[in-house]
Structure 1
Amino acid sequence: MTSQTRSQGSLGWLLTSPVTRFIALLGLCAAYIQGPLTKLFDFSGALAEMEHFGLHPAAFFAVVVIAFELTASAMILSGFLRWLGALALAVFTLLATLIALRFWEMPSGMERSMAMNAFFEHLGLAGAFVIVAAMDVVKGAGK
């Protein structure tokens, strides 16, 4: 066995470890756990956010977003219908990105540049959720 084969074997073991998978999924879901917890502890801030984006009634949308993000994240982390939770967060991320990060409507400058960067980062998150869903369906875990 060559050193390259040994290192690939070690890397393969590390990348396919259940612990690594859970940590990676936790990282992917981190914003969808932190966000709703912040909204729970500062509900008036959550209401202001919903109002800012024109979502009425604000209390209804705040509660739905909190419950949705925590539930979908729990589905992904627990493996229970992981594919469904991942696809739901992919769609949610795309919709929220189109609502909140409309960089093309902003004047040139730092704020537009930051919004554009965040827009494309969110597209990457949505893509990662689609990959998680696809991997679960291919493995037959989508039952």
Structure 2
Amino acid sequence: MTYTVQSTASWSIDQLAPYMSDILGAMGKLAKRYPKDVTTGALFQEVLAGNRTLWLVLNGDAFVAIAMTTVRTIDATGTRIFTLCDLAGRDVAKFADELTTAMEDSAAQNDCSIIAVEGRTGWDKFLKPRGYKPHAVLWRKTR
């Protein structure tokens, strides 16, 4: 089978239904990993509200992962930034080419001149070979 990355932005609820348990499970994993940042409900609400685009990674018809993206415009310059802000699932190395291609194509369709990825340092292994470079560091201290 081949991996496909599909935006669900125009999908009906009936199209999403077969994957809903997997989608919520993946969102739950993100919420568990980042409990001070997100909840499953908040992530799902962001998709429902149209603030994030939900992408499904499938192997044939089998669920593999979700990705979520946003597009924002910098008020001061008008620069549009396409951001991969969430990714949860398995086998990322196996679908990294398909994921980055889908993101880059969508960024071009949305007139975005910058593609950003918010993620763990472990993503270096699939981003750097595809031309992505670290841009900034986020420092945190949890009390």
Pair in the same fold by TM > 0.5? no
The TM-score with structure 2 as length reference comes to: 0.36
Mark the structure with the bigger radius of gyration.
Answer: 1
The TM-score with structure 1 as length reference comes to: 0.36
Instruction: Point out the structure with the larger strand share.
Output: 2
Instruction: Point out the structure with the larger helix share.
Output: 1
